[in-house]
Amino acid sequence: MPHITPALDAAQIDAFIADGFVRIDNAFPRELADEARAILWRDTGCDPDDRATWTRPVIRLGFYHDAPFRAAANTPVLHAAYDRLVGEGRWLPPRGLGTFPVRFPSSEGPGDDGWHVDVSFGFENPDFMEWRANVKSSGRALLMLFLLSDVGPQDAPTRIRKGSHAVIARELLPFGEAGATLRQLSADGYASSAGCEEDLATGPAGTVYLCHPFLVHAAQPHRGTGVKFMAQPPLLPKGEFDPALPPSPVQVAIRKACGLTM
């Protein structure tokens, strides 16, 4: 049984504010990842022991409420981390995990590897390019990356632009509460964050990356040998931003980026 350390210390909080993400090792047991992968393998329609069935670079699966997914998202370590980053009582316990871009080794491009930010409201609009984000991050408390398989540098790890959340916060500020659409945010291909240092979301199964909602990130082709299983759910806020409460690290990062009073 791996040693599990409490989350998160002051240095990790400072790193989250500066870089836009924090990695938590042993966030959930490997046994839960194994159980979850068995369910996901079934739904891919592929055979884990027959590579001839791995015919596509990526298969997308939805949100799962089964017991191993719920348990993985709600460990004591993760609940403590949610409290530290978002604020105690300000988030909703995840009801499961999803969505899953299951990535297979392939010489074919996945077709979904562009840089982007996950928007968080306006989903009633049938045009997904009109979905929105605002500087308060309405509708999303965190972006989360749950590794349900071992992910090395060749296994299509998510690419992360460190500090890009600050760039996006400044871009969202003039749009106010109405926010900007995905079309507006992506108009320049996120060139404004191109100078940010790039990191990779690697780690053994059971690793979780808790990311600022504005973090610019991207998929990439799978050049390894195994199959990558990762969930990318939001952590949902319990309500709208309350100025009467002390600012959370998520809010501190936004305020610092925008030059606002802390």
How many Å separate Cα 71 from the centre of its chain?
18
pLDDT score of 1 more than 90: no
User: Which pLDDT belongs to residue 240?
Assistant: 85
**What's the rounded mean pLDDT across residues 133-152?**
97
* Burial category of 242 from C-beta neighbours within 10 Å (exposed 0-12, middle 13-18, buried 19 and up): exposed
User: Which pLDDT belongs to residue 6?
Assistant: 59
**What's the rounded mean pLDDT across residues 29-57?**
98
* 20 contacts 166 by C-beta, under 8 angstroms: yes
* Mean pLDDT rounded to a whole number for the chain: 95
Tens of pLDDT, residue by residue over 244-256, are: 789 999 999 999 9
Tens of pLDDT, residue by residue over 100-122, are: 999 999 999 999 999 999 999 99
Residue carrying structure tokens 């600022």: 212
**What's the rounded mean pLDDT across residues 30-35?**
98
The reply to whether the predicted model has a pTM over 0.85 is yes
Longest dimension (CA), the chain: 58
In the chain, pLDDT over 90 holds for what percent of residues?
94
Tens of pLDDT, residue by residue over 201-241, are: 999 999 999 999 999 999 999 999 999 999 999 999 999 87
Where does the pLDDT of residue 78 fall: very low under 50, low under 70, confident under 90, or very high at 90 and above?
Answer: very high
User: Which pLDDT belongs to residue 7?
Assistant: 67
User: Which pLDDT belongs to residue 135?
Assistant: 96
User: Which pLDDT belongs to residue 244?
Assistant: 79
Q: In Å, what is the CA distance from 222 to each residue of 8, 93, 153, 163, 180? A: 31, 32, 9, 25, 32
Q: 12-258: which CATH number, 2.60.120.620, 3.40.50.620, 3.40.50.10860, 3.40.50.2300?
A: 2.60.120.620
Instruction: List the chain domain ranges.
Output: 12-258
Tell me the β-bridge partners of 197: none
DSSP letters spanning 119-180: --B-TTSSSGGG-EE-TT-TT-SEEEEEESS-B-TTS-PPEEETTHHHHHHHHHGGGGGG-E
Q: Closest Cα to residue 29, out of 165, 193, 206, 171?
A: 206
